């Protein structure tokens, strides 16, 4: 039996094992998927365990999506452009990094029929996940900026500046509002209500305080399922030929 794992600092909130183990069942894959909490100094040894066959692939979450890149033999060109890796595979004797968050979020935008062309989009946060979100929005035609507490370039504005912007789309790519800190929101209700579309890549809780402010149901579960499917396609060298929506519904029923 092959073992795959999610690497991160704190993983109690994650539903990733449910999703991947459902995919294993659906395709009769003899494998299991676990959570592997680790410290930064442990990453190199854990990633190198792929060469020994101890593990057979990893997903990567907060706060290591950039950190892991230094330990890889090769980085997929699209992940290199994004600047973050969330999926690691061992192929032809090489440890290779990919970004499947991009695939998951782009398909979430399409699934929810979010109008992107020439719209003003703002990505809250500048961490590893935000990079894939930003690239997906740009590729779908949005005028996109990051929002940060400490803006450092022309593509980034402050949260105070956000109050004066003409906003079409807001995406929360920070952990603010994630379980157990469910009473927190990265922005005020008045700003959230300015946007036509508000998405949160958080999936636990199902409706964060930010989404409640905006009366939105666009949480991160579809993105999570979509990126998991893409990761499995990479690991198993297969094409996922089943309904993503059916898998999302099944996961929703289990959580």
Enter the tokens of residue 48. 């190198």
Report how far residue 174's alpha carbon sits from residue 78's, in angstroms, rounded to the nearest whole number: 22
User: Cα–Cα distances in Å, from 134 out to 8, 32, 127, 138?
Assistant: 22, 32, 11, 6
Catalytic: 70? no
Task: Identify the H or E element spanning 57.
Answer: strand 57-60
Q: Are 111 and 84 in contact (CB under 8 A)?
A: no
Within its chain, how far is the Cα of 169 from the centroid?
17
Q: Active site residue: 35, 40, 65, 206, which one?
A: 65
Q: Are 229 and 211 in contact (CB under 8 A)?
A: no
Q: Which residues are catalytic?
A: 65
């Amino acid at each position: 039996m092959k073992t795959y794992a999610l690497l991160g600092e704190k993983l109690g909130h994650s539903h990733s094992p449910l999703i991947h183990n459902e995919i294993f069942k659906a395709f009769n894959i003899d494998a299991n998927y676990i959570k592997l909490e680790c410290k930064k100094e442990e990453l190199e040894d854990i990633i190198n365990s792929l060469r020994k066959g101890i593990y057979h692939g990893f997903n990567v979450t907060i706060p290591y999506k950039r950190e892991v890149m230094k330990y890889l033999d090769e980085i997929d060109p699209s992940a290199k452009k994004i600047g973050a890796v969330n999926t690691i595979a061992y192929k032809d004797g090489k440890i290779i990094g990919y970004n499947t968050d991009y695939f998951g979020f782009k398909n979430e935008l399409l699934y929810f029929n979010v109008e992107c062309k020439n719209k003003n989009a703002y990505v809250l946060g500048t961490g590893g996940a935000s990079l894939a979100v930003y690239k997906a929005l740009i590729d779908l035609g949005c005028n996109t900026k990051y929002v940060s507490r400490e803006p450092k370039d022309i593509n980034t504005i402050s949260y105070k500046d956000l109050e004066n912007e003409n906003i079409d789309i807001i995406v929360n790519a920070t952990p603010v509002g994630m379980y157990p800190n469910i009473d927190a929101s990265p922005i005020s209700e008045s700003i959230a209500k300015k946007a036509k579309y508000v998405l949160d890549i958080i999936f636990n809780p199902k409706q964060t305080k930010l989404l409640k402010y905006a009366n939105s149901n666009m949480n991160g579960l579809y993105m999570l399922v979509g990126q998991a499917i893409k990761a499995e396609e990479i690991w198993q060298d297969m094409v996922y030929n089943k309904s993503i929506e059916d898998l999302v519904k099944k996961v929703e029923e289990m959580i």
